[in-house]
Structure 1
Amino acid sequence: MGGGHHRPTRAVYVSSLLFCLLLLKESFVSAQSVDPPDMAPTASPVSSPDLYQPSDSYLINCGSSEVKLDDGRIFKSDTEMSSHLSTNEDVQTKTDPIPDSAFTNSTPSSLMDLYKAARIFTSDSKYLFSVSVPGKHWIRLYFYPLRHEKYDLKTAIFTVQTDKYVLLQDFSMDDSKVVLKEYLVNATQHLSIVFKPKKDSFAFINALEIEGVPDEILSDSASSVPQGNTINGLSNIGLEVEYRLNMGGQTITPKNDTLARTWAPDEPYNTFPQGTEAVRGKNIKYRPENKMTRLVAPEMVYETADRMMSEAYAQTTVPNFNLSWAMSVDETFSYLIRMHFCDIVSKAKNELYFSVYINGLMGISRLDLTEKAGDLATAYYTDFVLNASSITNDSIVVQVGPIADSNSGKPNAILNGLEVMKMSNIADSFDGLYTVDGLYKGPESSNLKILAISGLALAFMAMFFLGVICVRWKKRPQDWQKKKNFSSWLLPIHGSKANYSSKKSSIFGSRKSKSGLSSVYSHDLGKLFTLNELQNATQTFNENTVIGVGGFGKVFVGTLEDGTKVAIKRGNHGSEQGINEFETEIEMLSKLRHRHLVSLIGFCDEDSEMILVYEYMANGPFRDHLYGRANKTTLTWKQRLEICIGAARGLHYLHTGATQGIIHRDVKTTNILLDENFVAKVSDFGLSKAAAMDQGHVSTAVKGSFGYLDPEYFRRQQLTEKSDVYSFGVVLFEVLCARPVICPGLPRDQVSLADWAMQWHKKGMVDQIVDPKIAGTICEGSLKKFTEAAEKCLAEYGVDRPSMGDVLWNLEYSLQLQEASSQIDESEDNTNFIGLEKRNETGESSPSPAEPPTTTTATDESDDSNVTLGSQVPFPDAANVQGR
């Protein structure tokens, strides 16, 4: 009995033990059965936040208790983390629940709990965090205007900033929607988040997170748009995430992203959904050799895509049908645009070719995904920088479209993901032009400095003026009483009075002035033409007299009453766009006199017209003689050198010889004009800037012509004389190769002339890209010295580039070498010349340019600085020139 009694008891114990062991085994096996990352069929079980442990991680729920999200992250109460919070008050509010209308369709439900509480600040307050590993850090700020019995959070106005960056300037919540602001900034030893309420207002924050970011998610360089130059130094720039879209898929929540990012669906931004088809793929691959990991973007981004619906493409009557996404942005900022691709639609490699456009500008002319990514279903991304000057209507439009002449596969295009990030501006701000110290960095900042010292400046000017009068009074001529007025000898007049109009009766009449120059008319600005005079000169602006079209307007050739032939540049009628360029051109040219700079005859500012009058340049823009115009005579190498030397002298005078250094800002072959003797003159000063001698640079929005833009100026928005040097380096290679500076239809490595030429120069084979029309006429030594000068001009950083004076010296040396080689007996075998062709084999003669003057300093008044007004002036803009 006793034994029988114990046997069932032992069986129960053994069974229980076996059952527990079985459960333990199942749990262990289950825990080990998760597919490793490389074997995962889908992204969901793989892309979890615990795959990446940030070096720094501060997750704070402000004004309330701890919150745990479904992705496993825990937001601690800032009350518990009081050591990070510096404030003299403890004002909190919370609510439960928040209405559904406060959330957007893309707001993850897991984040909703972070908006249910807030901390309110009535004075400057700060969160301070230690940084263990210096580098890029996420800053995510959560805002929602909760109800409070005393404070109406919808009326709060405040600024949020870090140690270096202004994140939000005078921020307010104009509706009852949740707001998530996400930034990527550099941090060193510590990172502070400072809240500054506006006077008589307050600030608030619902939640914030600070997390270290892996280096591989941000490249230091990107392609400029249109495609051409490479922009470097992006790691030193702060970024704000404006849009992060998952094409063809649903919202990707932080739970399914390694870095806790949210990816919204693209439908709200798709401008042609009826022509778009969502597709899915699987088994996405990442290639480490392409610096691609799941940290860049999770598999779920690459598993879905939008492609062109084949039926829509077949039915459309527009041959350049593209998939398009439009997003609203602040057009005063530049943007980093990242596009994610993965070929999940092709059956074989090299079947899918398409082009990428941003704001109508070419990003990639012929993208073969499998070539770039390395295989089908392989993740790949590419970055672009879009400058603020290329943004219109406060929007960015991203497009992908097929290549109509593709010989393989059906025409199509795809996009898997898109990120649009605002780049911090010159004030290290994402919202306005004030620095963290409250300093204004806008275009008028120099004017504010002038106003601050205006009283002292006026006093010195008055003393100087009185001194001049005293000196001139002592030197007055004996017959000074017979002069019409004392100003003719006492006051310095810039230029010859004989050339100025005496018709001043109508200047201050009822005519409508567009720029206001008429009302402050000065002799120094040149002759003030009446509109009737210029209409008579151009047969009422007859289209048959048009000789060029540019960004400012059309250029007409005209003949004045005295028979003088002139070029008349007329601004687009009724447009306010060119007033600044109109005024700048007049003010600059009225102060400059140099053999190799255009001279302004006068202007017309009547009846809302903006018209500039120059001398007529018989041989037009330099570019027309290099390529693009079949009827133009080919310039010899010696002629090209002399023209480059003339242009260099003009720029050297601008930089060093003018009263105040001047930066041209738009140096290109269409702004180098040639007179009847092929003497070069630099033209078009509408974008020019006076150099800030005390700072060495001018802080200004980037303007100019693509292909010629200095990458350092593009990146830092700080204009220097070396920006002109870079542009002139591009001109030199353009002269040598006789091809456009940007050719979107060529393979990517040939699109930018500067990059292409530098590649050949590094190989020591620059002779292979010389214009075939002159290849056999160039002395080897002359070519070497010329290309050395061009290569130095294109240095990545301005400090490494030569001055225009040094460039001029090298060009003159190159000319001397060419002239010396030409003295060799023509009957000898010219083995020291490049190529097989010889000059003038056709027997054709070309106009011989005037011999350039001997080398002088930029301020040599006896040579280059004397120009008679009313003799000759060019037309700065030629036909078929890309507008600024």
Structure 2
Amino acid sequence: MRGNKCRASWSQPYFSFSIIFLSSFFLFNLTKCASAKSNASSTFTPSDNYLIDCGSTQETRLKDGRTFKSDHDATSLLQTEEDVQASVDSISINVSSSISPSSLPLFRTARIFLQDSTYTFFVAEPGWHWVRLYLYPIDHPSYNLTEAVFSVFSGKIVLLHQIQIQDNTSLVFKEYLISVSGRLSLQFKPKKGSFAFINAIEVVSAPDSLITNIATSVSPLGDFNGLSNSAFQVCYRLNVGGPTITSENDTLSRTWEPDGKHNKFLQGSKNASVSAKIIKYPESGATPYIAPSSVYASAVHIEDPLTMQPNVNLTWRLNVDPGYSYLIRLHFCDIVSKVLNSLYFNVYINTMVGVSALDLSSLTDALDTAYYKDFVLYGDAITNDSILVQIGPYQSQSASLDAILNGLEIMKMNNEANSFEGLFTVDGSYKGPNSTTKKLKIVAAVGLALAVAAMLLLAMVFVRWQKRPEGWEKRNSFSSWLLPLHRSNSSFLSSKSSSRRSSQYGSRKSKNGYSTYFSTQGYGRLFTIYELQNATQNFDEKTVIGVGGFGKVYLGELEDGTKIAIKRGTSGSEQGITEFKTEIEMLSKLRHRHLVSLIGFCDEQSEMILVYEYMANGPLRDHLYGTNLPSLSWKQRLEICIGAARGLHYLHTGAALGIIHRDVKTTNILLDENFVAKVSDFGLSKAAPTLDQTHVSTAVKGSFGYLDPEYFRRQQLTEKSDVYSFGVVLFEVLCARAVITPSLPREQVSLAEWAMQCHRKGTLQKIIDPHIASSIDPGSLKKYVEGAEKCLAEHGVDRPGMGDVLWHLEYALQLQEASSQIAPPEDSSEMILASEKPSSNSSGPSEEQVVVVVYDNLELSPGSPLFSQIKNFQGR
């Protein structure tokens, strides 16, 4: 009967009306909060502040001091015969007893819409605006609000789609953040035969600084640009380790809930709190608008680091809707440390690294100082319909085993349909994978592309057939002459899958597929898969000479007898198409005696294969430890280090654009048949910063044990990161042991730290490889260790360039060669060395910069054997 009555009363044509309020009628100052520096009261006054208690006949004042105006006074602007107002004066019998009366002021009345209806708000100042909707199906004698089914739109954004609130035991509060200019509309669209309702509405300006344009993408790890193009729905706002923070204690009238319902795995955790008055805000970054000081004044951290199990993280699990990307904002404030730079910890989002070795002190330069970081998690990285936020200690001798989190916000980002609920747009069209329109477009595009490709292919085949060489039928490869892939001015395209969608808030490459394009000019020979199968006996396991993150490395032999190293990418490899493309692009630009040469590549049948010159003696590490290969002499080791240093020096300074290798280690220094060292594996390489840059901000990648700690903490890459890794290599060469050995005592686990400690104590001789310890000249060792120690300086600015490192190594080699040719007299005292070191801008010493070695009671003439060696010294 109720439904029939509704249809009988509203059998008129489609109707829409607008409730227009003057902004001055609703302006009201928001509550005070702690300021950025002085912690004194600060007020944010929104230029637009519409607070409406829908269906009410009078104002409603909340405890936080805000006043919601009644929309009853604006009925003169409406066609009142077209709407029904539902007002409930008494809540004692109409509201579930499970709801606290203090929560009810805005839920006592409602306005019911029986056809499409629109609120329109004039916006005085464009920018971010809060849109908050209050919904509760109160009991009404004529309308059962639990049966209402309706949608809510804001312009082209779908806020709610076909919502039905059947549970009258809890209140529904929806909060959005939308960028608006001109005017903002809220359209309530009932489902056919149903109706819509709303209890209260807020449309309030938010500070522009609340959402910046840049965040950190988690999967893949990197920078995300485009937040300003998105709209957001607040899913969670948690005060971690603290109580509820109500709107009266937040500058922007937000409510922060305790994290108790979401901290699923916090064994060994402890709550910490301080007075909100001591919380400071930095010059830039976090402000009271980002979060009030009371959020930063409480935290959860590790209770007893000594009993903390390895690899156990403090975890918060938050249920979310799958298929959406999310903005995750984490709030940090070091309220547990006593001194600076003593707290380092890792942050994980859905088990993926968000930040490694986060050091709040280096970011804020003070304790008790607010800091926040934004992450974007793509929808396909969400598993089990939930987001895991984890923090865990970073294992370091200089840091305490602790981790901390103060606040957590999760915000849903609108999808390709501009919706927060499903894939239907405002006009009702469907943007999902089964969209007929989308299918037709794809079919048309594919058909057209295939037709064009077929015509071009036939044309090329005809031309090549006319120019086919004599004896072509005797050749092994049909494609070698028919298809113009081997010509230097040709190109090819391979595609395993189409690229993923690109939404208005950013785009990225599919992790399940790739699409690459290379011009073969400069990239070396393009091998067919057939040629490489022949070269490796169909990739026989017996031909495997190495295994890495990219895949296996095979020894192959071409028809002319040339030996080659074939690196074949595997599905699910740690690396992928990005590294494949980087390796080709980098090596195609580089030619140096001490860099492994790229001969060519293969990109057929979804394969990713790189072909290099064969390095007969393999990785340097195999000649240091872990194998039965003969030990290298000290002179050989010096020459190998010099060769590797020359290769890195060329990367940093000799290439057209400087290149940072980013994965310097002994397995990436290969030796040819003459033990000439060549740097290899450029899959992680990055272009060096330009003259107007100090660093490259990028995700941390490399090999554990060799990573620059400053790069690890700040994610700021420079050439000095390679220098640090090379310093680790130098000690690895000297001591012939792994750079990380977990089975050793804690102080000896890291070779770099242990070697530095031994050097300071004067006991370095005890850890030198015993195969060479007795043969090293003291002067040579001193110069070598001096260079290695400088490489391992804590801060990049204190490390030398690769040119200076090369100078130290060549100097050490000269001293070693000199000592092996002339032995000092028995009564001679300690050797005295005098030299003039070339400037950092020179390429080596000039003829006047002569290195002279003098012993007491011994004179050397320019024609002596020693001097003849020294004068041929080649600087960097």
SS at match of 2:345: strand
**Corresponding position of 1:571:** 570
Contact 2:241 2:259 in 1 (8 A): yes
**Corresponding position of 1:305:** 299
Could you list the per-position Cα deviations for residues 523-548 of structure 1 after superposition, in whole angstroms to 9, with x for gaps in the alignment?
x994469999978643379xxx3623
**Corresponding position of 1:29:** none
Which is worse superposed, 180-189 or 425-434?
A: 425-434
Per-residue deviation, 1:412: 4.7
Per-residue deviation, 1:284: 1.8
Per-residue deviation, 1:557: 1.8
Which is worse superposed, 91-100 or 412-421?
A: 91-100
**Corresponding position of 1:382:** 372
- CA distance in structure 1 between the aligned counterparts of 2:376 and 2:610, rounded to whole angstroms: 35
- CA distance in structure 2 between the aligned counterparts of 1:470 and 1:36, rounded to whole angstroms: 79
Contact 1:353 1:367 in 2 (8 A): yes
Which amino acid is the alignment partner of residue 103 of structure 2?
S
2:847 pairs, out of 813, 827, 836, with 827
1:668-747 aligned at under 5 Å gives the runs 743=707, 745-746=709-710
- CA distance in structure 2 between the aligned counterparts of 1:729 and 1:135, rounded to whole angstroms: 32
**Corresponding position of 1:59:** 51
Which amino acid is the alignment partner of residue 141 of structure 1?
L
Contact 1:568 1:611 in 2 (8 A): no
TM-score calculated relative to the size of structure 1 = 0.53
Would you say 1:324 and 2:336 are equivalent positions?
Answer: no
Could you list the per-position Cα deviations for residues 718-765 of structure 1 after superposition, in whole angstroms to 9, with x for gaps in the alignment?
xxxx9xx99999699999xx999995733887642149899xxxxxx9
- CA distance in structure 1 between the aligned counterparts of 2:558 and 2:104, rounded to whole angstroms: 76
Which is worse superposed, 638-647 or 268-277?
A: 638-647
Would you say 1:338 and 2:333 are equivalent positions?
Answer: no
**Corresponding position of 1:209:** 202
SS at match of 2:178: strand
Would you say 1:398 and 2:418 are equivalent positions?
Answer: no
Would you say 1:276 and 2:307 are equivalent positions?
Answer: no
Per-residue deviation, 1:267: 0.9
Using a 3 Å threshold, how does the CA distance of structure 1 residues 353 and 584 change in structure 2: closer, same or farther?
Answer: closer
Could you list the per-position Cα deviations for residues 600-634 of structure 1 after superposition, in whole angstroms to 9, with x for gaps in the alignment?
45767xxxxx86555355359x9999xx9998654
Using a 3 Å threshold, how does the CA distance of structure 1 residues 37 and 213 change in structure 2: closer, same or farther?
Answer: closer
SS at match of 1:71: coil
Using a 3 Å threshold, how does the CA distance of structure 1 residues 62 and 709 change in structure 2: closer, same or farther?
Answer: farther
Which amino acid is the alignment partner of residue 410 of structure 2?
V
Would you say 1:421 and 2:411 are equivalent positions?
Answer: yes
SS at match of 1:269: coil
**Corresponding position of 2:786:** none
Using a 3 Å threshold, how does the CA distance of structure 1 residues 611 and 82 change in structure 2: closer, same or farther?
Answer: farther
- CA distance in structure 2 between the aligned counterparts of 1:529 and 1:481, rounded to whole angstroms: 17
Using a 3 Å threshold, how does the CA distance of structure 1 residues 309 and 112 change in structure 2: closer, same or farther?
Answer: farther
**Corresponding position of 1:618:** 614
Using a 3 Å threshold, how does the CA distance of structure 1 residues 532 and 237 change in structure 2: closer, same or farther?
Answer: same
**Corresponding position of 2:554:** 557
SS at match of 2:802: coil
SS at match of 2:174: strand
Identify the structure with bigger relative contact order (alpha carbons < 8 Å, sequence gap 6+). 1
Which amino acid is the alignment partner of residue 57 of structure 1?
N
**Corresponding position of 2:247:** 254
- CA distance in structure 1 between the aligned counterparts of 2:190 and 2:531, rounded to whole angstroms: 55
Using a 3 Å threshold, how does the CA distance of structure 1 residues 61 and 619 change in structure 2: closer, same or farther?
Answer: farther
Which amino acid is the alignment partner of residue 615 of structure 1?
V
Using a 3 Å threshold, how does the CA distance of structure 1 residues 74 and 528 change in structure 2: closer, same or farther?
Answer: farther
Contact 1:93 1:118 in 2 (8 A): yes
Question: Gapped runs of 5+ residues in structure 1?
Answer: 1-34, 497-513, 518-523, 605-609, 652-665, 685-704, 712-721, 759-764, 779-817, 832-839, 847-884
Could you list the per-position Cα deviations for residues 154-201 of structure 1 after superposition, in whole angstroms to 9, with x for gaps in the alignment?
7846463446xx354746458736443322232233223345678998
Which amino acid is the alignment partner of residue 295 of structure 2?
V
Could you list the per-position Cα deviations for residues 321-343 of structure 1 after superposition, in whole angstroms to 9, with x for gaps in the alignment?
54332323457525241314262
SS at match of 1:746: helix
- CA distance in structure 1 between the aligned counterparts of 2:300 and 2:240, rounded to whole angstroms: 6
Could you list the per-position Cα deviations for residues 99-130 of structure 1 after superposition, in whole angstroms to 9, with x for gaps in the alignment?
65987xxx99425743863544655x543211
- CA distance in structure 2 between the aligned counterparts of 1:231 and 1:647, rounded to whole angstroms: 29
1:138 pairs, out of 130, 135, 142, with 130
**Corresponding position of 1:129:** 121
Per-residue deviation, 1:450: 5.2
Using a 3 Å threshold, how does the CA distance of structure 1 residues 192 and 36 change in structure 2: closer, same or farther?
Answer: closer
Using a 3 Å threshold, how does the CA distance of structure 1 residues 472 and 325 change in structure 2: closer, same or farther?
Answer: closer
**Corresponding position of 1:689:** none
SS at match of 2:710: coil
SS at match of 1:259: coil
- CA distance in structure 2 between the aligned counterparts of 1:568 and 1:443, rounded to whole angstroms: 40
**Corresponding position of 2:540:** 538
SS at match of 2:261: helix
1:182-197 aligned at under 5 Å gives the runs 182-194=175-187
Using a 3 Å threshold, how does the CA distance of structure 1 residues 162 and 101 change in structure 2: closer, same or farther?
Answer: farther
- CA distance in structure 2 between the aligned counterparts of 1:584 and 1:379, rounded to whole angstroms: 39
Using a 3 Å threshold, how does the CA distance of structure 1 residues 235 and 593 change in structure 2: closer, same or farther?
Answer: closer
Would you say 1:160 and 2:153 are equivalent positions?
Answer: yes
- CA distance in structure 1 between the aligned counterparts of 2:680 and 2:212, rounded to whole angstroms: 42
Which amino acid is the alignment partner of residue 308 of structure 1?
I
Per-residue deviation, 1:260: 1.7
Which amino acid is the alignment partner of residue 554 of structure 2?
V
- CA distance in structure 1 between the aligned counterparts of 2:481 and 2:649, rounded to whole angstroms: 44
Would you say 1:771 and 2:802 are equivalent positions?
Answer: yes
- CA distance in structure 1 between the aligned counterparts of 2:652 and 2:143, rounded to whole angstroms: 72
Per-residue deviation, 1:842: 13
Contact 2:698 2:716 in 1 (8 A): no
**How much identity, in percent, do the aligned residues show?**
28
- CA distance in structure 1 between the aligned counterparts of 2:260 and 2:513, rounded to whole angstroms: 45
Which amino acid is the alignment partner of residue 241 of structure 2?
G
Would you say 1:363 and 2:355 are equivalent positions?
Answer: yes
Using a 3 Å threshold, how does the CA distance of structure 1 residues 727 and 431 change in structure 2: closer, same or farther?
Answer: farther
**Corresponding position of 2:11:** none
**Corresponding position of 1:547:** 546
Contact 1:668 1:727 in 2 (8 A): no
Per-residue deviation, 1:137: 1.6
Which is worse superposed, 365-374 or 181-190?
A: 365-374
Per-residue deviation, 1:363: 3.0
Which is worse superposed, 295-304 or 258-267?
A: 295-304
Which amino acid is the alignment partner of residue 120 of structure 2?
L
Using a 3 Å threshold, how does the CA distance of structure 1 residues 356 and 594 change in structure 2: closer, same or farther?
Answer: closer
- CA distance in structure 1 between the aligned counterparts of 2:694 and 2:365, rounded to whole angstroms: 36
Could you list the per-position Cα deviations for residues 218-274 of structure 1 after superposition, in whole angstroms to 9, with x for gaps in the alignment?
566667779998877766654432321122333222233332211111111113344
Using a 3 Å threshold, how does the CA distance of structure 1 residues 78 and 369 change in structure 2: closer, same or farther?
Answer: farther
TM-score calculated relative to the size of structure 2 = 0.54
Contact 2:150 2:191 in 1 (8 A): yes
Question: Gapped runs of 5+ residues in structure 2?
Answer: 1-30, 488-511, 516-525, 591-596, 626-631, 723-795, 810-838, 852-868
**Corresponding position of 2:504:** none
Could you list the per-position Cα deviations for residues 34-85 of structure 1 after superposition, in whole angstroms to 9, with x for gaps in the alignment?
x99889xxx9xx99xx954322111234455556233333334556446999
SS at match of 1:255: helix
1:245 pairs, out of 219, 238, 247, with 238
- CA distance in structure 2 between the aligned counterparts of 1:184 and 1:191, rounded to whole angstroms: 12
